[in-house]
Amino acid sequence: MKILMVCLGNICRSPIAEGVMQKLAFDNGFNWEVDSAGTGSYHIGSHPDHRSIKVAKQFGIDISQQKARAIKKEDFEIFNHIYVMDRQNYDDVISLAANADQMNKVKLLIPERIVSDPYYDDALFLPVFEMITTQCEKLFAQLKNEN
Ligand code: 4NP
């Protein structure tokens, strides 16, 4: 199973989603490839936002060594599922897809609501972490039956 988590900057939300899903897979003995990327290029090469690093660390997940990168067309060939955080991410990622098969790989991480950008509000990092974790647990339970 190969999963790509995507947000705008690849420094706040998708690094958390990568870390959480990676840990779930690893702790359950699954050798999954979980990565993350951004639709924007402002933060390429940066480590995650210190507030994302901190909240993940509180829950035993080290995301400090991740480095931001931009999503690229080849990602659609590599990953089975591409999960995005909000509608803008969805539109931006879909615009890079080459065909319907690739478009079908792109889904909102949480279908019934968006994970909004916590960048401008420190208080949002914990709820964002919790929201992502709850959904990753659900998704892991579904996806582990796919392989
Ligand atoms: P992310 O949050 O998409 O969750 O990584 C953002 C971080 C920084 C910016 C945008 C979103 N920014 O424009 O600098």
Give 42-97 pLDDT, tens digit per residue.
Answer: 999 999 999 999 999 999 999 999 999 999 999 999 999 999 999 999 999 999 99
One-letter amino acid of 52: S
Q: What is the domain partition of the chain in residue ranges?
A: 2-143
Question: CB atoms < 10 A from the CB of 24, how many?
Answer: 21
User: Which atom of ligand 1 is found nearest the CA of 13?
Assistant: 4
Q: For the domain covering 2-143, report its CATH number.
A: 3.40.50.2300
User: Residue 63 has what pLDDT?
Assistant: 98
Residue 12 has pLDDT above 80, yes or no: yes
Distance separating alpha carbons of residues 120 and 125, to the nearest angstrom: 10
- Give the rounded distance of the alpha carbon of 123 from its chain centre: 20
Is 117 one of the annotated active-site residues of the chain? Answer: yes
3-state DSSP assignment of residue 104? helix
Q: Which of 43, 52, 129 to mutate to test the pocket of ligand 1 (most atoms within 8 A of CB)?
A: 43
